[in-house]
Amino acid sequence: MFKFLTLLLVLVISSASAGRIVDYLLNMPIKNGCFEEHRKVLECVEPHEPFINLLELNLQQSSVYNIGLMRKVLQVSKNVSECIGEDLQCDSSKLVTFALNAGGYVGDKIYGDAFHCFINAQVPEIMENCTTDDLDPSELYNTTLIDETKDKYFECIAQQLYKVPSCKIGRIVDLYKAGHAAVDSYFDGVRFIDRADPAGLNLDELKYCDI
């Protein structure tokens, strides 16, 4: 399970910004009454298109270690999200802002003080080493199983981080929050796409305060 998490950082962050959103929006069937909202989202993305195109051409797995680039991505994501605003009515725009906000939360945690630990410990490699089998679609709604797997996964990662001197406890906590938010958002997003249930599409940052 969680094999997908190897590329999770690139995915969360790039799906929060790069051409995926544009592609997604352009290919999305526009529901009745959603034309205006759809147009608004595209208008908010448009000024950033040169940067997004550049990113699409140059983004590699190693880009997660490029803090300057990633902070720029986060800034663009925030700008787009602020431009779109709240009170959305349509599923496609809800999913876009959810991805932007989740990516923003995760990115802010990683590309802050915790980055010292992230880069020295090579967290994406640790994630890969802690990965087991992929999740069966039928297990997507078994929260017991998902919670168990999540705990094991994060425990495995934490064990590796404790060995790295720059991974002071505060930094590990930040990465832990980022990881939980990323995994939860991933499942919320997948369930949303699977069952079109927008109930889960609310990033509750407070949930991660006491971790």
Ligand X SMILES: *[C@@H]1O[C@H](CO)[C@@H](O)[C@H](O)[C@H]1NC(C)=O
Residue 76 near ligand X by CB under 6 A = yes
**CA 203-26-81 angle, 5° bins:** 30
Q: Which residue number places its CB atom closest to ligand X?
A: 145
| CA–CA distance, 203 with 20 (Å, rounded to integer) | 20
Question: Which residues from 14-43 bind ligand X, rule CB under 6 A?
Answer: none
Per CB under 6 A, does 142 bind ligand X? yes
Closer residue to ligand X (CB): 30 or 72: 72
Quick count: other Cβ atoms within 10 Å of Cβ 210?
6
Indicate the residue among 65 and 198 with the shorter CB distance to ligand X. 65
User: Which tokens hold the place of 134?
Assistant: 């992929």
**Residue 13 within binding range of ligand X, rule CB under 6 A:** no
**Burial (CB count within 10 angstroms: exposed 0-12, middle 13-18, buried 19+), residue 137:** exposed
Find the binder of ligand X among 63, 66, 131, 160 (CB under 6 A): 160
Please, what is the end-to-end C-alpha distance for the chain in angstroms?
22
Looking at 19-27, 38-46, 139-147, 187-195, which segment touches ligand X (CB under 6 A)? 139-147
Does residue number 63 form part of the binding site for ligand X (CB under 6 A)?
Answer: no
131 binds ligand X (CB under 6 A): no
Say if residue 114 is exposed, middle or buried (CB neighbours under 10 Å; 0-12, 13-18, 19+): buried
What CA–CA distance (Å, rounded) separates 206 from 200?
A: 15
| Span from 14-22, 24-32, 137-145, 182-190 in contact with ligand X (CB under 6 A) | 137-145
Which of 113, 125, 136, 155 is close enough to bind ligand X by CB under 6 A?
125
Q: Does 173 bind ligand X (CB under 6 A)?
A: no
Residue 142 CB, nearest distance to ligand X (Å)? 4
Q: CB of residue 31 vs ligand X: minimum separation in angstroms?
A: 30
CB of 157 to ligand X, least distance (A): 10
**Which span (92-100, 104-112, 123-131, 185-193) binds ligand X, by CB under 6 A?**
123-131
Helix 8-15, helix 67-84: angle, nearest 10: 40
Structure tokens at 194: 């699977």
Tokens, residue 129: 């080493």
DSSP state, residue 135: P
What is the binding site for ligand X (CB under 6 A)? 75-76, 79, 122, 125-126, 129, 142, 144-145, 148, 160
